[in-house]
């Protein structure tokens, strides 16, 4: 039976270098991240022990470090790297990652992408 337990992290607002234009490469911009992380939480629910779950704080720290230290051209790439942190780095079964750039388009509150990745999507990568 498939387990559909989810960890939800909403509206993680970070700053980083992202974009194609020269002016986007010069200074950090706001980057809004939302995550739905799928993992089996039955053992954690029984044991009340963090070792049976994904540590949200540790996961979030890894995402913050990546966003603040990277300079991707595409939000698609940043979303993929965040999914990799969730799935490969922290053992999630799959992750839905939304990355948005608030104010990137005139008349739009935010623009971005949403991707879904699972473990198999990263198998065989170095």
Looking at residue 124, what is its pLDDT? 81
Q: What is the pLDDT of residue 1?
A: 56
C-alpha–C-alpha distance, residues 33 and 119, integer Å: 20
All domains of the chain in start order, with CATH: 6-122 (3.30.1130.10)
DSSP letter at 4 equals -
Whole-number Å distance between alpha carbons of 26 and 56: 31
pLDDT for the residue 105: 87
Per-residue pLDDT of the chain (126 residues; tens, 9 = 90+): 566 899 999 999 999 999 999 989 999 999 999 999 999 999 999 999 999 999 999 999 999 999 999 999 999 999 999 999 999 999 999 999 999 999 888 899 999 999 999 999 999 875
User: Residue with structure tokens 């995402």?
Assistant: 63
């Amino acid at each position: 039976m498939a387990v559909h337990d989810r960890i939800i992290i909403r509206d993680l607002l970070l700053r980083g270098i992202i974009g194609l234009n020269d002016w986007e490469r010069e200074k950090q911009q706001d980057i809004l991240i939302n995550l739905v992380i799928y993992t089996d939480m039955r053992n954690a629910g029984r044991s009340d022990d963090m070792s049976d779950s994904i540590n949200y704080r540790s996961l979030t720290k890894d995402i913050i470090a990546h966003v603040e230290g990277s300079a991707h051209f595409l939000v698609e790439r940043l979303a993929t790297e965040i999914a990799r942190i969730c799935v490969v780095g922290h053992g999630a079964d799959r992750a839905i990652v939304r990355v948005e750039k608030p104010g990137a388009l005139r008349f739009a509150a935010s623009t971005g992408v949403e991707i879904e990745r699972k473990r198999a999507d990263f198998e065989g990568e170095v």
